[in-house]
């Protein structure tokens, strides 16, 4: 088995999205509202 990317489940999507984009400099690759994928393979989900 190979680990590819972490999926973080959050209650409020906007706060961690802002943290990863503004502070850590990652970019949003796909944004489906409840699911967001960032560069580096990190995915956020509510």
Instruction: Determine the pLDDT at residue 24.
Output: 93
pLDDT in tens, 1-46: 788 889 999 999 999 999 999 999 999 999 999 999 999 889 999 9
What's the confidence (pLDDT) of residue 9? 95
Q: What is the pLDDT of residue 5?
A: 83
Closest CA to 6 of 33, 42, 32, 37: 42
The residue count for the chain: 46
What residue segments make up the domains of the chain, in order of their start? 7-45
Phi-psi region of 24 (alpha: psi -120 to 50; beta: other; left: phi over 0): alpha
């Amino acid at each position: 088995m190979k680990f590819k990317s972490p999926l973080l489940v959050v209650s409020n999507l906007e706060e961690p999205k802002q943290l990863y984009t503004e502070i850590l400099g990652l970019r949003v690759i796909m944004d489906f509202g409840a699911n967001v994928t960032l560069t580096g393979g990190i995915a956020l989900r509510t």
